[in-house]
Amino acid sequence: MISIKELRKNKESYQEALSKRGEEYDLEYILQADSEIRSMKTSASEMRAQRNTASALIGEAKKSGKDASDSIIKTRQLGDKLKKLEIELANAEIKLKKLIYQVPNIPHESVPSGTSENDNIEIRKWGKKIDFNFEPKTHLEIGEKLNLLDFKVGAKLSGSGFPLYIGEGAKLERKLINSMLDHHINEYGFEEVFPPVLMLKDSMITTGQLPKFQEDMYHTEVDNLFLAPTAEVPVTNIHRNDILKESDLPKYYVAYSPCFRRESGSYGKETRGLLRVHQFNKVELVKFSKPENSYDELETLTTQAESILKKLGLHYRVISLCAGDLSFSAAKCYDLEIWAPGERKWLEVSSCSNFESFQARRGNIRYRKDKDKKVELCHTLNGSGVATPRLMVALLETYQNKDGKVSFPSEVAEFLGINEIGH
């Protein structure tokens, strides 16, 4: 959530920064609503002062035996007016908050200009494409031949977009999750948590999924709970309304969770197989940082997510997203894309983002400075470490053999605890 105080001071710079996203936002409307609220607060404060003065005069009149009935009537009338104004003020504040919730984060000055993914910038590559002496198959062909995945039965159970992992496919999925968790815990000191997947509305508001993207979320209407689209939601909300110690920062969490996304606007070729599904597994990295350190933490977070791809020997690239391709809550984001030789395309498997104080302001996530004891907003970051569906696509397609089996190099096999699939 943007700061209304900063918006009052820097409307033009905010407007300019938001325009880089390629959309127009009526900040003047927000400022007008804010001005009305401040005027109402002033009026309410004056009414309270008048009421207090009148009450004191009534008390003095009663002590001296004077008739205070007229003053009592006027005080009651003033109280009624104040009560009405307070209700109007509360409604106006709710309206203002809803307006602010619709405004995305301000892109960091280092974010490339641009309006779409075509304007994103490649930062670096690692590894190289594998040369096959045969025509590589897709993960769909491999999964069917080796009986790893069953999309028909998954659809029978839950509808399209809900894959069923079978046998060695299920084993590979489980091994991937465990290996990634252990790696981030042992190599980088992340603290593991295992969060719930049903979220309160307040939790979804904190991370920016609500109210703008409600149609993309799975919602249980009876209990008014939302299925988490990523473990970012529950893990970030661990410290909602908390004041952390400065000495506790940075704070690193890693979590596995199933993720649920309706993907209501997704159709066609990208929905084939594991490329885009409604339920998937992901290992998530979440950081809480002091503001002055958050961009160093973003670079570190990105390399930590990359380390998984290196362990798996997969050809990948790091992309800096342009302003027009940033997610709603992000101030800056790097995407990690892996090469899938069967699909013949790059597939995004991780987004590593710095949200600065955007989520912290929504969720009231703060820390107390050691020296002056002042309370400041934290910066929050998160990155996939990583999502499994497209990771499995790349693994099956990269390490496939001509005979249809999948064989992992020794270093990859050691990391996964699996030598071969289809033996």
Q: Tell me how far apart the alpha carbons of residues 213 and 419 are, in angstroms, rounded to a whole number.
A: 42
Report pLDDT for 216. 92
**Full 3-state SS string of the chain:** CCCHHHHHHCHHHHHHHHHCCCCCCCHHHHHHHHHHHHHHHHHHHHHHHHHHHHHHHHHHHHHCCCCCHHHHHHHHHHHHHHHHHHHHHHHHHHHHHHHHHCCCCCCCCCCCCCCCHHHCEEEEEECCCCCCCCCCCCHHHHHHHCCCEEHHHHHHHHCCCCCEECHHHHHHHHHHHHHHHHHHHHHHCCEEECCCCEECHHHHHHHCCCCCCHHHCCEECCCCEEECCCCHHHHHHHHCCCEEEHHHCCEEEEEEEEEECCCCCCCHHHHCCCCCCCEEEEEEEEEEECHHHHHHHHHHHHHHHHHHHHHCCCCEEEEECCHHHCCCCCCEEEEEEEEECCCCEEEEEEEEEEEECHHHHHHCCEEECCCCCCEEECEEEEEEEEEHHHHHHHHHHHCECCCCCEECCHHHHHHHCCCEECC
Residue range 361-371, pLDDT digits in tens = 999 999 999 99
Question: Residue 268 — pLDDT band, cuts 50, 70, 90?
Answer: very low
* 52 pLDDT more than 80: yes
Residue range 295-330, pLDDT digits in tens = 999 999 999 999 999 999 999 999 999 999 999 999
CA dihedral (184, 186, 192, 194) in degrees, to 10, reads 80
* 264 pLDDT more than 80: no
* 279 pLDDT more than 80: yes
Encoding tokens for residue 196? 């719930």
Which CATH number is associated with domain 4-101? 1.10.287.40
Report pLDDT for 261. 94
Report pLDDT for 270. 56
* 267 pLDDT more than 60: no
* 4 pLDDT more than 50: yes
Q: What angle do CA 203, 302, 229 make, to 5 degrees?
A: 30
- Percentage with pLDDT > 70 across the chain: 98
Please name the fold of domain 117-421: BirA Bifunctional Protein; domain 2 (3.30.930)
Q: Tell me how far apart the alpha carbons of residues 233 and 211 are, in angstroms, rounded to a whole number.
A: 14
- Percentage with pLDDT > 90 across the chain: 87
Q: What is the mean pLDDT of the chain?
A: 94
Q: At what angle do helices 27-63 and 69-101 cross, to 10 degrees?
A: 160
Instruction: Tell me how crowded residue 196 is: count the other CB atoms within 10 A of its CB.
Output: 12
* 419 pLDDT more than 50: yes
Q: Which residues contact 6 (CB under 8 A, 6 or more apart)?
A: 14
CA dihedral (109, 114, 116, 117) in degrees, to 10, reads -70
* 285 pLDDT more than 90: yes
Encoding tokens for residue 359? 């989520």
Encoding tokens for residue 223? 């209990």
* 287 pLDDT more than 70: yes
Report pLDDT for 269. 47
Residue range 93-135, pLDDT digits in tens = 999 999 999 999 999 999 999 999 999 999 999 999 999 999 9
Average pLDDT over residues 139-150: 96
375: which strand partners? 368
Report pLDDT for 62. 77
pTM over 0.75: yes
* 23 pLDDT more than 60: yes
Average pLDDT over residues 270-295: 93
Amino acid at 19: S
* 71 pLDDT more than 50: yes
Instruction: Give residue limits of the domains in the chain.
Output: 4-101, 117-421
Residue range 154-176, pLDDT digits in tens = 999 999 999 999 999 999 999 99
Report pLDDT for 54. 83
Buried b (16+ CB within 10 A) or exposed e, 24-59: ebebeebeebbeebeebeeebeebeeebeebeeebe
Report pLDDT for 265. 53
Question: Residue 143 — pLDDT band, cuts 50, 70, 90?
Answer: very high
260: which strand partners? 279
Encoding tokens for residue 394? 């790349």
